């Protein structure tokens, strides 16, 4: 099937980035959120990011105008029923995602493909509660979406080949690379990345090093572009904890036990950059380690 119109659920950090790259690639996009403020903020951010691409001669001013013209917004979730492909990028909570799909199902076209940008939740389980498990898969973008080249495509146990091929075609049109992953907890990237972050938090928790020494060690000693604690703040400590819980629950292996210090930071509301404090304090001009 030919995909022309794409619905995106959630105008947050991931949703606005997905809208950006889809519209830039020529797709008509309909973006929805429960908040008009979130939709307005998303459009402003997409415009600023496109301006940055124009300033670097990556796209033309005409490209920017055409891209913005292809993004529509709505507060009514069911308006997305007329799209060919839906990408859910709401909060990383299964109950929220399930409620969204339940509301959407009666309004979908027969051919509409449903996907989730989940970073860890079972695609098979999400799909099984819909009327189209064969037309359901994981479509996991990396953050920040406009810059990162990888998209994980995750097949549920029922996902059929035409659905996979259609989503693969979208990834290729975006100029990104698809990594095919099986539907096991946290897929590929986060199965490897988040336990490394969790181990860095254990290293901090056990007093092996402080925030600065741990991050500098991995940047200068392992050539990582960003230290693991800095990266955790960028991702969101609540998201890191949610992924560790999915791994721990889904694989029943103690090596995936979330570090108690990570739990404590989340309980304190110190979630990283988005809340102003995490392993670093971002409330001043320069981030300062909190330990």
- 128 labelled ligand-binding: no
Active-site annotation holder among 88, 94, 152, 230: 152
Active site residue 190: yes
Question: Is 176 annotated in some ligand binding site?
Answer: no
Closest Cα to residue 118, out of 147, 141, 84? Answer: 141
Task: Identify which of 77, 67, 87 has the alpha carbon closest to the alpha carbon of residue 18.
Answer: 87
Based on its alpha-carbon atoms, the radius of gyration of the chain, rounded to whole angstroms, reads 19
Evaluate whether 279 touches 232 at the Cβ level (below 8 Å): yes
264 is in an annotated binding site: no
Tell me the H-state helices in 185-270. 189-205, 211-221, 228-235, 237-251, 260-267
| C-alpha distances in Å from residue 11, one per residue of 19, 32, 75, 241 | 9, 7, 11, 22
Is 92 annotated as a binding-site member? yes
Residue 238 known to bind ligand? no
5 labelled binding-site residue: no
From the candidates 117, 122, 140, 198, give the one annotated as an active-site residue. 140
Q: Is 15 annotated as a binding residue?
A: yes
Choose, from 116, 117, 190, 198, the residue flagged as catalytic: 190
Total residues found in the chain within this entry: 291
Q: Buried (b) or exposed (e) across 183-222, using 16+ Cβ within 10 A?
A: bbbbbbbbbebbbebbebbbbbeeeebbbeebbebbeeee
Q: 284 a known binding residue?
A: no
Q: Is 140 a catalytic residue?
A: yes
CB-based contacts of 48, cutoff 8 Å, min separation 6: none
Burial 117-133 (b: 16+ CB within 10 A, else e): bbbbbbbbebbeebebb
11 is in an annotated binding site: yes
Residue 269, marked binder: no
Residues making up the annotated binding site are 10-15, 33, 92, 97, 119, 143, 274
Give the catalytic positions in this structure.
119, 140, 152, 190
Residues making up the annotated binding site for NAD(+) are 10-15, 33, 92, 97, 119, 143, 274
């Amino acid at each position: 099937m030919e995909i022309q119109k794409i619905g995106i659920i959630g105008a947050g950090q991931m949703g606005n980035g997905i809208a950006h790259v889809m519209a830039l690639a020529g797709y008509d996009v309909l973006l929805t959120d429960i908040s008009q403020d979130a939709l307005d903020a998303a459009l402003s951010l997409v415009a600023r990011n496109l301006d940055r691409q124009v300033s670097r001669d990556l796209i033309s001013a005409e490209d920017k105008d055409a891209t913005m013209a292809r993004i529509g917004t709505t507060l009514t979730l069911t308006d997305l029923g007329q799209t060919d492909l839906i990408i859910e990028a709401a909060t990383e909570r299964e109950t929220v995602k399930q409620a969204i799909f339940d509301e959407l199902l009666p309004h979908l076209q027969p051919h509409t493909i449903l996907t989730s940008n989940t970073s860890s939740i079972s695609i098979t389980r999400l799909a099984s509660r819909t009327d189209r498990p064969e037309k359901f898969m994981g479509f996991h973008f990396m953050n920040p979406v406009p810059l990162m080249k990888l998209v994980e495509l995750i097949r549920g146990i029922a996902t059929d080949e035409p659905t996979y091929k259609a989503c693969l075609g979208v990834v290729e049109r975006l100029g990104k690379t698809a990594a095919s992953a099986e539907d096991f907890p946290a897929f590929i990237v986060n199965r490897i990345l988040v336990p490394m972050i969790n181990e860095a938090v254990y290293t901090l928790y056990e007093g092996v090093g402080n925030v600065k020494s741990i991050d500098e060690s991995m940047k200068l000693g392992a050539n990582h572009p960003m230290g693991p604690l800095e990266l955790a703040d960028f991702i969101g400590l609540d998201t890191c904890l949610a992924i560790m819980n999915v791994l721990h629950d889904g694989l029943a292996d103690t090596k995936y036990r979330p570090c108690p210090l990570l739990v404590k930071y989340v309980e304190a509301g110190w979630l990283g950059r988005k809340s102003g404090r995490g392993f670093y304090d971002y409330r001043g001009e320069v981030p300062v380690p909190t330990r």
